[in-house]
Each structure stands twice: as C-alpha cells, then as structure tokens.
A and B are shown apart, each in its own frame.
Chain A
C-alpha cells in the first residue's frame, strides 16, 4: 500500500476505488443535511424569483420581471450604496480591530483570560439585544449614555440615529463592535498554532518586532485571516439584522441596505417573488465576491 494518496485519474482507473469513495462517505452526512435543508429550499427560493408569487391562487410565471423591477427601483439603487459602505466598512473595521485585539490579548495569564472573556461579550449576545442596547445608548439627548460621555468631554449631544447623515456610521460602529471580538477569536486560534521556535529563531536573527510580525506571524495566520476575509465577503453584503433592529432602515431611508429593502418587499408588500429576486441578485454578487477572494488567497498561497 503506497504512502501517498493517488487519484483515480492517475491510476487510470474507471473503477471506484476504496480511496476515492472514502471522502464521499465522510461528506455524505453533511451533504445530505445541506441538500435537504439548505439547497432544496434555496432552489425553491430561486425558482420563486421568476414568479408573481401567490401561494394560494397559484404562482404566475413572470420571467425576469421581478429582476427588472428590483434593479430599476430607485430605493434599491440607493440601498446599493449604503450596503457597500456598511459592508466594506464594517468588515474591514472588524478585521482590523479583531486582529489588534488578538495581538493585544494573546497569552495564558489569568488576567488576560478575564479580559478576553469580557471583550468577547458582544459576540455572545443576541443581535436583537445588542441592537436594543445600542439604541438605548445612542439616545439623542444629553441623558443618553454615549451623549453623557461626550458631555463629560465637553462635546454636544449627537443625534446618532436621527440624523440621516450620521445614522449609517452609527450603525457601522455597532457592527464593528459586534464582529471584532468574533474575528479576534478566530485569529487567536491562528496565533495559537504559530510555532514558537520561529519567534525564537527570528529573535536570534535580530529581527525587529515589527518585521517579526510582518514576516513570521502574518504568513502563519494566513488560514485564519483567509477565513475572516471569506466570512467578510459572505456576510458583509448580507448585512440585515444590525440595521433592522437599530434603525429599521431609517431615518428617511438613510440606512436602508439591500436586504432590508428585500425584507420590506417580501413581508410588508407581500411581494415574495420580488424579495426572492432581490436575494438572488445578492447571492450572485456574494458568490462572485467570495470566489474572487478565494482566488486571490490561492494565488498568494505559498504551498
């Protein structure tokens, strides 16, 4: 029995060997569950996007009608800008901050464990609750939590959520606050796997801290960074819950993102076909983005 794995193609076999069946056996439970509970409903959802959905009376085929309507709706078009700003800003901010936090709080000390647990609290709290909390913290008069802090520093009260110019940034701040600890955890797992003797070797070579960070640590946590980047690509444009619980898309539509628009379309206006079309558009864009991110990751891979 050879020590290396050979592909069936290399051996020129049409025969399904034990080796090539085994991975499929391992994949089977996952694929089965995903098929029944994710792909099938997903396919149905995509299918519905081509119809005027009327569950009881029977759906009416409308072809690309829903797509045209969605893409030419000026409110959806406005939402694109907000989605991009929020998605990119939130993702990058959370990755950066998560990385900094991971570097800061790495270590075995008891006190660090406590700080890490405290910093991780945003990630364990339900998003709806976090939204409620921030809505309370953002209270627009000087009695509000954040405003009284600003008052202490001599700054006037800010209308965080009521000023259409600021509301998007306020939402982004909350988003970064939620996701940074999440990323911190993933990056710390990556940092944990870095071979300590490399640090020692680097020190012996007289490498500065900054260079060590750049040339030893960063490459070592490439898998972890890759994960957070991919997650950012997948989730960034999908941003919904944070906006929905904090501002509902207001004030005056200044925080409306693609999915809040789709949600309103589907459940306030009962246009499920339109909502599905909007979601499929988002799905395609996300897919494209993820594939691109993955492509660049593979290109940069040393292996």
Chain B
C-alpha cells in the first residue's frame, strides 16, 4: 500500500515538474538590472588593466553628474550580448570596435543617435562623425577613440646599417632585406627578420593587416556606389597588382623578409618586434607602451607607413560609443557620451598609470602628442587625420573581412596560386555576402 502511494506521488511529481518546466521556460525573463533610471549599465570589452582606466573615467562622470555607472568589463562580449539580446534587455551603453557597428545595427541592437543631441558634438570632426553613419544614413554610434596604423622601426638597426626609414614600398623591401641579411643586432647569427606580419586568416587578421597595402595600392575591398548599395571590388587591376606584389615580395620571395610563421600568426603571437628579432612592424599605436617597456624608447621610432603606388593611406579603426536599443534612458546615455567625448573625459582616458583606452582623441581640441607629452603620437594623429581609411561602417563587415582574410591567406600560402582567378573567386564570395545583407547593387 505504501508502495502505491509513494509511487503515485513520484509519478505526480514527475508530471508536475514536466509541466512546470514547460510553462516556466516560456515565461522566463530575467529581472533586468537596469530598473534604476539613475544608473547606467556600461559594457566594454576590456582586460582588467584598461578596465581600471575606464573606472576612473566613470568615477569622474558620476562625481560630476550624479549618474551612477554599473560598469562591466566583459571579456566574452559577443556571447553575453547575444544572451542579453535574447531577453530583450540590452546594456545601456556599450563601447566597442567601430567595425562592429554594421553588425549591431543590422541586429537591431542600437539606438539611432542624433549628433546634435550630444553636448560638445561640434568638437568632433566631420570625418569622425561620418564613420558612424549606418545604412539608412542615420548615425548609430558616437566616435570615442580612433587610431591609424603606423610603422614601428628599429632606429638602432637603421643607424648600424646606415639606412634611413623607408618612405616607399620599394625602400621598405630593401630595408627589410637588409635587416634580414646584414646582422643588424651584431650578434653574428642570422636570427633577424625584416618585418612582423600577423597574417593568419583567424579573426580576419590577414585582411586587417593587409588593408593598408590594399589602400596604398589603390584597391578597395567593397565599394559603395553612392545609392546605398555596394559591390565587391577585389577583382580590380589595382587589387590584383597589389596582392601579386605582396605575394611575390613578402611571402613567396625572400623568406626572411617576414618572421617565421607569419601566415599563421595573430597579433598576440607575432611578438617578434618586441622580442627584438624583427625590425619593422606596421601596427596600431596601442603597442607603443609595450614596446617602450620591452625594447626601450631609444631603440625604435614611429614613422608614417611607407607609401604605395596610390598613396600612403593606412587602415584606421577605433572605438565608438553605442546606445542599447529600447533602454529608455536616452537622456542619461547622452550625458555620458557628452562627458566621454569632452576634453576632460578624453584626457582621463588617455593618461594614467593603467593602459589608456583612448588613443587618438576624437575631440579635435586635443592633441594626442601634447596630452601624452610624447611627440611620437603626432605621427599617429597625422596619419589618422590625413592618410587613413576605415573599413566601410554601414555593412556588417565581419563576414566580408573574414572572407577576404581567408582568400589572401590562401594566396600567400600557396605560392603557385593564380592571383587573378583567386581574387575573382573572392569577388564572387563577397558579392554573395553583400547579397545576404541586401546590399548588393
């Protein structure tokens, strides 16, 4: 008898649990942390060190306006964002790469921004503002920090070999070969390389690094046609010439021009410049602090990137401030953005004992070199202002970048490849990507 009762209870329990799961699972929706109108939830993708800088900036903001900041330095940014998006509860403010704007906007995650609503918007240049325009012509982000690539080069090696910093592709090549063959570190061993290249296809690095060369060769990856649509442009003569030049001279010719394993290296593994066995590195300015520490200020210098046939344009990128859609805290978000782009906010983010989070300030009243008391930064600022191009901000550029990286990586790996036909295939793939986004002309 007791058995039957017990077993019935068990069965009932199981059924009830099953039902409860079913209903409860549908009604789920976490209690949002953003109930308080006077608190903003801010996300950045930051390691602990730069996170400390952000905390200082936000503390100053809270002191000034009384609006509290719930700051989350998120490492697993995209995944967390997706799961928050599922619960329709987005963070109020996000600071992340410029290149992500297209992706976020197409997912509906961003609020439209009216530049006039941000106090002090006039201090941001038109060039910077234009980089936050989405597909429909409206702004979806506020510029926060910018940077452009410049060439870091070992000036002690140049001095030893009696060379000058290169200003053209050809000069760059001969300097690289000299670094690789003429023992610039004087240790009697053939252990030096010309140039560091993060050439892996992983995360699109090959395209990120190679973009500067494409711009300098007069090529573009995708081109807007002025009517809101785009078309792939990697089959142009300029693109074919540029990629062929890169393949023949950097990867398939003299092997010591680039570091070993260049085609499988990402930036965190391509440490040869700071390790002291490569002479040149075309990269962003965030490495300056690291290089100062590992190499020493006196050993290297920052110069503009060598120019190609069509000029010296390099890749520019940076971070934007994004407002989460439908958070209902527009006024507070605008106040934060205004503070972040103000001279005070930008200076706080550029200085201090932790890693700075603003490289080139978007606030045009500030000069990076003056704020940091370091003239090398003016090279970077000049490069950004006068000779740089960003990836197109309106499309979701991630798949385009990835496909381009895959193709470039394959071309450089298989030295016998036919550049023209491979770029032709890439173009078809890119057209497909654009079509998926309804952006194909």
Chain A residues within 8 Å of B, Cβ to Cβ: 15-18, 21, 24-25, 32, 35-36, 40, 54-57, 135, 139-141, 143, 159, 161-162, 164, 247-253, 264, 267-270, 272
Per DSSP, chain B at the interface is helix
Which residues in A have their C-beta under 8 angstroms from that of B409? 250-253
What are 20 A-B contacts defined by CB distance under 8 Å?
A: A16-B4, A16-B11, A17-B7, A21-B10, A55-B86, A56-B109, A135-B269, A140-B261, A162-B260, A247-B264, A248-B200, A248-B203, A249-B202, A250-B200, A251-B264, A251-B409, A264-B402, A268-B204, A268-B402, A270-B103
- Given A24-B10, A268-B402, 12 extra CB contacts under 8 A: A16-B8, A21-B3, A21-B10, A56-B88, A56-B108, A56-B109, A139-B260, A164-B414, A250-B263, A251-B201, A251-B263, A268-B398
For the complex, what is the distance from the CA of A250 to the CA of B82, rounded to whole Å? 27
Known: A40-B21, A55-B107, A161-B264. A267 touches B79 (CB 8 A): yes
Chain B residues within 8 Å of A, Cβ to Cβ: 3-4, 6-8, 10-11, 17, 21, 25, 78-79, 82-83, 85-86, 88, 90, 103, 107-109, 191, 200-204, 260-261, 263-264, 266, 269, 325, 396, 398-399, 402, 406, 409-410, 413-414
> Is the CB–CB distance between A248 and B264 below 8 Å?
yes
> Is the CB–CB distance between A270 and B88 below 8 Å?
no
Which residues in A have their C-beta under 8 angstroms from that of B414? 164, 252
> Is the CB–CB distance between B260 and A248 below 8 Å?
no
For the complex, what is the distance from the CA of A269 to the CA of B400, rounded to whole Å? 9
Which residues in A have their C-beta under 8 angstroms from that of B3? 15-18, 21
What's the minimum C-beta distance from B107 to chain A, rounded to whole angstroms?
6
For the complex, what is the distance from the CA of A15 to the CA of B25, rounded to whole Å? 33
Which residues in B have their C-beta under 8 angstroms from that of A135? 269
For the complex, what is the distance from the CA of A247 to the CA of B191, rounded to whole Å? 24
What's the minimum C-beta distance from A112 to chain B, rounded to whole angstroms?
38
Question: In the complex, what residue of chain A is closest to B85 when comparing beta carbons?
Answer: A55
Known: A40-B21, A54-B107, A248-B201. A270 touches B260 (CB 8 A): no
> Is the CB–CB distance between A252 and B399 below 8 Å?
no
Which residues in B have their C-beta under 8 angstroms from that of A162? 260-261, 263-264, 413
For the complex, what is the distance from the CA of A247 to the CA of B260, rounded to whole Å? 14
Which residues in A have their C-beta under 8 angstroms from that of B17? 32
Question: In the complex, what residue of chain A is closest to B407 when comparing beta carbons?
Answer: A252
> Is the CB–CB distance between A269 and B88 below 8 Å?
no
Which residues in A have their C-beta under 8 angstroms from that of B88? 56
For the complex, what is the distance from the CA of A247 to the CA of B79, rounded to whole Å? 22
